[in-house]
Amino acid sequence: MAPRLKQREGGSSGLPSPSAMEEQPWPPLRDHVILVGFGRVGHLIAAALTEKQQPFLVIEDQPEVVKALRADGIPALYGNAAAPGMLEAAQAADARWLLIAIP
């Protein structure tokens, strides 16, 4: 189990560790949508938000997805939305909506 945990934490997968991934700031957001989950439903929601030019930020627990989102210029946080401090990091106090797109 330890090797799987190490891989998930970014140890041997070639992906940055969660703490390294959080060091990528973006401009402050206001009246944005916080989208939790970027699976099938999250993709559909993100497409609709993009079409409407509604700013959004994604919280996702898959590091490779976060890395891809950031490469596309989409603000994304790696981790569990229920973790202490995560909603604050997503600037929830200034958000318009919080959308949950996880099973």
Whole-model pTM: value is: 0.78
* Domain contains 1: no
Q: Could you give the C-alpha distances from 10 to 7, 65, 74, 91, in angstroms and in order?
A: 5, 13, 21, 25
- Residue 52 C-alpha from the chain's centroid: 20
Q: What is the pLDDT of residues 17-44, one digit of tens each?
A: 444 455 557 889 999 999 999 999 999 9
* Domain contains 3: no
Look at residue 96 and tell me whether its pLDDT is greater than 70: yes
* Domain contains 6: no
pLDDT tier at 2, thresholds 50, 70, 90? very low
Q: How many domains does the chain have?
A: 1
Task: Report how far residue 35's alpha carbon sits from residue 69's, in angstroms, rounded to the nearest whole number.
Answer: 12
Helix residue ranges per DSSP H, 52-98: 63-71, 86-89
The residue segments making up the domain with residue 67 are 16-100
Tell me the two tokens of residue 29.
């957001």
Q: Could you give the C-alpha distances from 7 to 1, 12, 23, 56, 66, in angstroms and in order?
A: 10, 5, 20, 29, 16
pLDDT of residue 84: 95
Q: What is the pLDDT of residues 49-60, one digit of tens each?
A: 999 999 999 999
Q: What is the CATH number of the domain that holds 90?
A: 3.40.50.720
